[in-house]
Every structure is written in structure tokens, then in C-alpha cells.
Amino acid sequence: MGKILVTGGAGFIGSHTVVELQNVGKEVVVLDNLSNASEKSLERVSAITGKKVPFYKADILDREALEEIFSKEDISAVIHFAGLKAVGESVAKPWEYYENNIAGTLTLVDVMRKHGCKNIIFSSSATVYGDPAFIPITEECPKGVCTNPYGWTKSMLEQILSDIQKADNEWNVILLRYFNPIGAHKSGTMGENPNGIPNNLMPYITQVAVGKRDHLNVFGNDYDTHDGTGVRDYIHVVDLAVGHVKALKKIEEKAGLKIYNLGTGQGYSVLDIVKNFEEANGVKIPYEITERRPGDIATCYADATLAKKELGWEAKYGIKEMCEDSWRWQKNNPNGYQ
Ligand code: NAD
Ligand code: UFG
């Protein structure tokens, strides 16, 4: 096996995955255009692993830059995180999302095949299930209607990568459908670093805890759930990162086309998260109930038994550790990587 190219490797999930890859002795090369990340995350990776992280500041839309990387480096597989991911922004800027995520991936995959590298692990999302047909969600659950362009890019890219694999079975394609990644590296030196007002629940909570925001807005308490607030499957980012190492092993064994949910199988409501965060960290999170957020669903959690069976992977961190680790990162780095 040659080197592993990690696109979007300076980002939240990517940087944690680089740590786990280097920890098991993989040779990693990172590509990121830093549109939503800081190169400092890679310095933190090096401090943890004691290894250099070869880095190319490049865009997946830049064919020449990709050609150069694939010519210089002996890349045998790509873990493809690079993409824009803000749901609300994607509604306002659909062209930018389709261009970046879809045209970017098409360019990447074209350069890959020209260089004989036909192994890819793709960051998909539970969002492809839309309002899921059944809960807990297995991989057999039909894909649904997405409520925003971001979700459609994931759904469409799954189709595109599947079609490419079906047409040429030298390809090994693993689609990983993430549920809700939170938490941070135990060291407290790496974590999620959102620009501006966080869209997602946990970074919003940690910013309330650190005093940057006054209170949490809870988007609706009239859902059909145990306390009326939305239920999700939160998964520790380090568990997610380890999932990629296991998927890579599957690729090395000639995976063909595979799809796996990466979740814990446990659903927690917004108020469950608030309570767990308060208990784990001894901080108060003031909140107000507000209107539902458009496009949100009541309940989403995984049946993750297929990943356990076929990848030998299962999440090992519980909600307490997720809350503690998110807080340690935020507390030690109130301004993220700045
Ligand atoms: P992130 O924004 O921290 O990481 C994405 C990285 O890709 C960033 O570092 C960004 O600078 C880079 N990037 C974006 N466009 C690029 C381009 N054209 N060329 C090169 N680099 C580019 O996000 P994340 O949370 O680490 O997510 C990683 C992947 O997982 C994304 O594809 C995301 O859609 C997917 N995902 C995330 C979640 C989540 O809740 N965080 C859930 C499901 C799926
Ligand atoms: N929520 C609040 N207040 C906030 C933020 C969120 O009440 O300030 C609630 C939401 O209504 C939802 C829950 O917290 O019930 C989780 O919301 P997030 O925004 O953290 O996560 P989502 O489940 O909406 O979406 C996330 C990612 C998507 C990904 C999806 C996969 O943002 O990219 O998980 O399940 F597709």
C-alpha cells in the first residue's frame, strides 16, 4: 500500500482521522484549500503523533494541482473529506455547493483513475435518508428527499461514485454515512472550529459554556420524541476517525462498493445533550425554546450493526466523554485555532 491522500484533512473530521492513520503507521498526505480550516490543526496532529504531516494547500477543483500531487506522491487510496458542509449556506448558494462538492469530486476522481488509483472512501451523511422511512436506520433504508442542496450533493455523489464503481470493478468505493459527529481529541488540542455563529448543536453549546453566546436556542419542543426536542445519533469524532482506518483495511481487501452507517445506535434529544453536558462538565447552559428550524426532522439514529459485522468497528465513547472532550477543547481554545 502506498500513501493515503486525505482531502479536507485540515478540517474537523479529517484532522482527527490523520491522527488515527498516523497512529497505525500509515503514510498520509493532506490536501486542503483551507476554506474552512486552519493549517494549525496539522501542527496539532504532528504534536500528537510525533510525525510530520505532508501538506498541499490545493483545491480539488484544480486539476493541475491534483496532477502534480499524484505525480509526485505514490498515492494508493484517497479518503475524501473535502467539501462545503453548511446546510443553510447551501440553500443561499446552491451553485457554489454543486460546483465545489460535485465538480470537485469529479475532477478528483478523474485524476485518480488516470494515475491508476481507484480506491476511495467518501464522507457521506445520514442526511441522504431524508426523513427516514424507518428507525433505527439501516443501510437498507431507502434514500430520501433531501431538504437542501448540501444534502443533495451527498446523495448525488453517492450515486456518481456507485455508478463509476459499477462500470469499472477495479474501483473500490466505500460510502460512509456519518451521523452527528461531536467531541474532540482527548488532548484538548484539536476540535471543531466553526466560522461565525455555529450551525450545529454541540459547538453552539460549548460557545454558550465559554461565554461567547448568551443562551442556546432549542429549535422546537413539539416533535414526536420523548421530550419534544429533536433526537440525533451523536458520535465521538475519534470513533468516526477510527471507522475510516477500518474502512481503509476493507479497501485493501478489495471492497468493491460498500455503504456503512457510522453512528452509535443511541438517540439523544437536544435537552438530553444539554443535561449531559451540564452534568459532565459542571457548567450551566441557559436555553430558550424557539421555533422549529426548517428542514429538521424529529428523529435520526443509526443501526450500526453492518459496520460492526463487516469492518469490525463500533463506537466506544459514550455521551459523557463526548461532552467532556468537546468542552476541554473549547475551554482550552476559546477562539479555536486562532
Ligand atoms: P470541515 O469543514 O471541517 O472539513 C472539510 C474540509 O474541506 C475543510 O478543511 C475545508 O477547508 C476543505 N475544503 C472544502 N472545499 C474544498 C476544496 N474545494 N478543495 C480542498 N479542500 C476543500 O468539515 P468536517 O465536519 O470535517 O466534514 C468533513 C466531511 O464530512 C465533509 O465532506 C462533510 O460534508 C462530511 N460530513 C460532516 C458532518 C458533520 O456534521 N460534521 C456530517 C456528515 C458528513
Ligand atoms: N439544534 C438546536 N439548536 C441549535 C442547533 C441545533 O436546537 O442551535 C437542534 C436541531 O434542531 C437538531 C439537533 O439540535 O434537532 C442537531 O442539530 P445539528 O445542526 O447539530 O445537526 P443536524 O442533525 O441538523 O445535521 C448534522 C449535520 C449535517 C448532517 C447531519 C447528518 O449538520 O451536515 O447531521 O445527520 F448531514
CB atoms within 10 A of CB 151: 22
pLDDT of residue 129: 98
Q: What is the pLDDT of residue 338?
A: 85
Q: Name the residue with the closest Cα to ligand 1, atom 13.
A: 82
* pLDDT, mean over the chain: 97
Ligand found nearest the CA of 12 = 1
Ligand nearest to the CA of 215: 2
- Shortest-distance Cα residue to atom 11 of ligand 2: 219
Q: Provide the grid cell at 33.
A: 484549500
Q: Which of 56, 97, 150, 301 is catalytic?
A: 150
The confidence band for 250, taking pLDDT boundaries of 50, 70 and 90, is: very high
Question: Is 300 close to ligand 2, i.e. is its CB under 6 Å away?
Answer: yes
Bridge partners, 299 (sequence order): 231
Name the residue with the closest Cα to ligand 1, atom 28: 81
For residue 151, give the ligand 2 atom closest to its CA: 36
- What is the mean pLDDT of the segment spanning 228-257? 98
Q: Which atom of ligand 2 is nearest the CA belonging to 233?
A: 35
Region 132-139: mean pLDDT is: 98
Provide the pLDDT for residue 231: 98
Helix 12-23 crosses helix 237-252 at what angle (to 10 degrees)?
60
Contact 133, 140 (CB under 8 A): no
Per residue in 177-233, pLDDT tens?
999 999 999 999 999 999 889 999 999 999 999 999 999 999 999 999 999 999 999
Residue of minimum CA distance from atom 27 in ligand 1: 13
Predicted confidence (pLDDT) per residue in 117-126, tens digit: 999 999 999 9
Would you state the pLDDT for residue 1? 81
Pocket test residue of 296, 299, 322 for ligand 2, highest count of atoms within 8 A of CB: 296
Q: What are the tens digits of pLDDT across the range 87-110?
A: 999 999 999 999 999 999 999 999
Answer whether residue 258 shows pLDDT above 90. yes
Confidence of residue 304 (pLDDT cuts 50, 70, 90): very high
- Nearest CA to 199 out of 293, 61, 103, 73 is that of 293
Q: Could you read off the pLDDT of 64-89 as tens digits, one per residue?
A: 999 999 999 999 999 999 999 999 99
Averaged pLDDT for residues 256-261? 98
What pLDDT was estimated at residue 214? 97
| Catalytic residue list contains 150 | yes
pLDDT at position 269 over 90: yes
CA 101 to centroid of ligand 1, rounded, Å: 10
